[in-house]
Amino acid sequence: MSFHSTAAQLVTVAAEGENGGNHESLSPYLTGGGALFILLLLLWITTRFNRDR
């Protein structure tokens, strides 16, 4: 499959998707808040195990 045919297919798929791709049950604030919480938890865990200072 060539680059040109792949790009043409992707443009066709993108043009047909008119619903925006958002799911009704997904809140962007809840998703972002959950991701922030997980990243802060991982940062806290990393700093607790890094005791070689």
Q: What is the pLDDT of residue 42?
A: 96
Cα distances (angstroms) measured from residue 43 to each of 2, 8, 20, 23, 36: 43, 42, 33, 30, 10
Q: What is the pLDDT of residues 10-41, one digit of tens each?
A: 787 777 665 555 667 788 899 999 999 999 99
Q: What is the pLDDT of residue 1?
A: 60
5 pLDDT exceeds 90?
Answer: no
Confidence of residue 53 (pLDDT cuts 50, 70, 90): low
Question: Which of 29, 32, 51, 30 lies closest to 40 in space, CA to CA?
Answer: 32
Verdict on whether the full-model pTM lies above 0.85: no
Q: Output the six-digit token pair for 8.
A: 């043409």
